[in-house]
Structure 1
Amino acid sequence: MLREHTQVLVVGGGPTGLATALTLARRGVEVTVIDQAAHPPVTSRAAVVHAYTLEVLDRIGAAAPLVDQGVRAPRFTVRDRDRVLLAVPFDRLPSRFPYALLVSQAVTEAVLTGRLADLGVRVRRPCRLTALTRTADGVVAHLDGGEVRARYVVGADGMHSAVRREAGIGFSGPTHEESFVLADVRVRSALPRDEAALFLARSGPLIWAPLPDEVVRLVAAVPEAPSVPDVAYLQALLDERGPARRPDRVTEVLWGSRFRVHHRIADTFRRGPVLLAGDAGHVHSPAGGQGMNLGICDAVALGTAVADVLAGGPESLLDAYAAKQRPMAEDVLRFAAGLTRLAILPPSRRPARDLLLRAVGAVPPVRQRIALRLSGLVHREPTPARPVE
């Protein structure tokens, strides 16, 4: 049964909600997590956990078990068919995790769920939020299974967030949306199995990311994705955008789906006792693999701020969370949109683009800056200097 009272109600049982709850539970905060889906998804679109995100997960005890289940990729490449336009090295990152970890979002969720269960917290499913009512000391959450009073409510319930809607927070951005196809496949390929690649094609970008057990995640922007992409469809996609001299051959589709993405950001990440994190606050193109990573970083920052306030800290810590994470989200939206624009440049501008990328790739300091950008380490707070003794 659901508690009638909780300190924090987290709405959404994906990576963002789970990481928020785990951060709070490790601090001794009474937290309740609900999700409207009857079961956690076994398929998901995120497939990379970057270095900074692993550092953040390490703070809540979730990095090590996740690393054990992923593929460590020491570099990321940007390609035009057979040509490597830019190779971004991760093996020299100033981090305990000098790589991109290639692992399914479903595995990330399973690791976080397990860590939460160790602390006695389980996601309540299916449980849907229907309304929120502000009170003098917090919020009453109206659910399809009753009511819960909470000091704070965290909206980690995705792009169509009920929490955001009930709080009256706007979600602004362009009206157009991008259509994507994604699939986990088995392929015969000459591409490295420890490297993610972004193929730039006139028809749109294609992300090629190897996962454990010889599986490859494909994600591509397409005009209109089929609901269930088959071998023939994905093979045609690889023939059009992937390697040409030694083309990939799709041998099996493990699962496939489609999704649409807007580029939008919430007007604010806080309205009184209601706080937003992850896709409830920002959505954008999957180019660069930034979405889930930013959501997890939101989660740990938010969970830490809420725990500090409940331990006696000032409410201004929650404003500081919103003031820091929203500009970070704006930055990531611009970055992801820029990567997509690189892919869909008209043919007349592609030679100049390719020349520029190759020139950039020939300068080690520039390559390192791009690696820091992709890895998220540009958002890491600097370590305070030690006083001189």
Structure 2
Amino acid sequence: MTSTAALPLPARTEVAIVGAGPTGLALAVTLAGAGIDFVLLDRQAEGCNTSRAAVVHARTLEVLDELDPSGALTADLVGHGVPVSRFRIRDGARPLAAVDFDRLPTAHPYALMVPQYETEAVLLRRLRALGGDVHRPYEVAGVTQDADGATLTTATGETLRAAHVIGADGMHSTVRTAAGIAFEGSAYEESFVLADVGLDWAPGPREVSLVFGAAGLMVVAPLPGSTLGASGRYRIVATVAEAPAEPDLAFVRRLLDERVPGQAAVRELIWSSRFRIHHRVAERYRAGRLLLAGDAAHVHSPAGGQGMNTGIQDGYALGRALAGGDLDGYEAARRPVALRVVALTDRMTRVATTRNRALRAVRNTLLPALAGIPALRTRLATELAELNYR
């Protein structure tokens, strides 16, 4: 995703949004639709072209419908993705349980597998159609506030005055630091490997697989746009005790051979990264005229693919709160959602990665039995799709 030539920074605005990822873009689109003046800043000269987050859940697609009632915004994104209606849990190659989305009460009964840069590009196109854009590259070095507003100062010394400043600037948020808001929680011991690969995958592209195992958690999910002949394109996410900074083809092959023996043949490594995951929630979402959304407000395990979705929904909710003058209601509505998502993904991660043989045996016995109960299966599908957060 690219941006146009740098836009000059105005002296004043109603809402300054720091960070033009999916959260900041969703907020900007919401404000543009409501006719509220804003400036959206990002420190990068252009949007990232790596895939990072790769799933858009049903509730997020409903939000896109609300941002563009014509349906064009959602159709644009769906056209760049792969709808998947099943989430399957495995222990190695052995299936344990399946969670189906196709009967959920929504216009989008599936998980849409699509690279994050496509999601950002679709939101940016909508923003530009509404007359907005991203101001790049502007790195915010400091934020101060007083009774009448807040002032942003960039790394190059420029200033922007705003009635409210929104931190959509990620886990290491400058805005959250300026607001003095604690980021409560801790880090997982393991590192996470993220890779997009050309893969022959025995279960095929009709499902997202969450793989349990003593060696760690692994997610295998289909991606669109394969140009790799007989191989499909897949996203791999895996916990590793100590992953290399740049996992190579041989490393990813070993991971799959160890954790899903006989199920996968890696043909090509397209992109890879290593990262550390925390499970944290901001103590508050607001300090005076400074507010938080997305990863600046909450971070958690990638199990279930909830992060970007929760952030986009934050952006939409905050935009509506700013338009309606109910900023306290924003925190009251969205912080409990973050706590719930963090708890769910933490439980999924710890259940998936337990090294205790007795606990693994109990888990592998209980899961198929529980998955056979329709009400429980529907409840988990609804939770993953974030339809409980309407």
Tell whether 2:200 aligns with 1:188: yes
* AA of the residue aligned to 2:283: D
Shift in Å at residue 192 of structure 1?
A: 2.1
Cα-Cα RMSD: 1.2
Q: Does 1:223 align with 2:259?
A: no
Counterparts of 1:18-167 in structure 2, within 5 Å, are 18-61=25-68, 62-145=73-156, 146-167=158-179
Give the corresponding residue for 1:288.
Answer: 304
The equivalent of 2:229 in structure 1 is: none
Task: State the distance in 2 between where 1:124 and 1:161 align.
Answer: 18
Segments of structure 2 that go 5 or more residues without pairing to the other structure are 1-7, 226-231
Normalising by structure 1, what TM-score? 0.93
How many residues get paired?
A: 371
Residue 355 of structure 1: SS of its match in structure 2?
helix
User: Quick check: 1:177–1:262 contact (8 Å CA) kept in 2?
Assistant: no
Between the aligned partners of 1:292 and 1:65, the Cα distance in structure 2 is 18
The range that moved more, 59-68 or 354-363, is 59-68
Name the structure 1 match of 2:4: none
Q: Deviations over 1:237-284 (max 9, x none)?
A: 001112x3x421111011111111111111100111111000000001
* Match 1:2 to one of 4, 9, 14: 9
1:260 aligned partner: 276
Q: Which runs of 5+ in 1 are unaligned?
A: 310-316, 381-389
Residue in 1 aligned with 2:186? 174
Q: Is the 8 A contact 2:281 2:339 kept in 1?
A: yes
Q: Which residue among 331, 337, 360 is the counterpart of 1:322?
A: 331
Residues 116, 235 of structure 1: CA spacing in aligned structure 2 closer, same or farther, 3 A cutoff? same
Aligned position for 2:347: 338
Find the residue that maps to 2:75 and give its secondary structure.
helix
The answer (yes or no) to whether the contact 1:58–1:64 under 8 Å persists in 2 is: no
8 Å CA contact 1:75–1:87 kept in 2: the answer is yes
Q: 1:5 is aligned with what amino acid? A: R
CA distance in 2, matches of 1:124, 1:254: 30
8 A Cα contact 1:75 1:99, kept in partner: yes
**1:61-106 deviation line (CA, Å, top 9, x unaligned):** 2322111111010110011122211100100000000000011111
Specify the alignment match of 1:314 in structure 2: none
2-structure distance, mates of 1:256, 1:344 = 22
Question: The residue matched to 1:263 in structure 2 has which SS?
Answer: strand
Task: Pick from 242, 250, 261 the counterpart of residue 266 of structure 2.
Answer: 250
Q: Report the Cα distance in structure 2 between the residues aligned to 1:291 and 1:231, rounded to whole angstroms.
A: 27
User: Pairwise mapping of residues 373-384 of structure 1 onto structure 2 (< 5 A)?
Assistant: 373-380=383-390
Tell me the TM-score normalised to structure 2 length.
Answer: 0.93
Change (3 A) 1:176 1:233: closer
Residue 196 of structure 1 and its aligned partner are, at CA, apart by 0.6
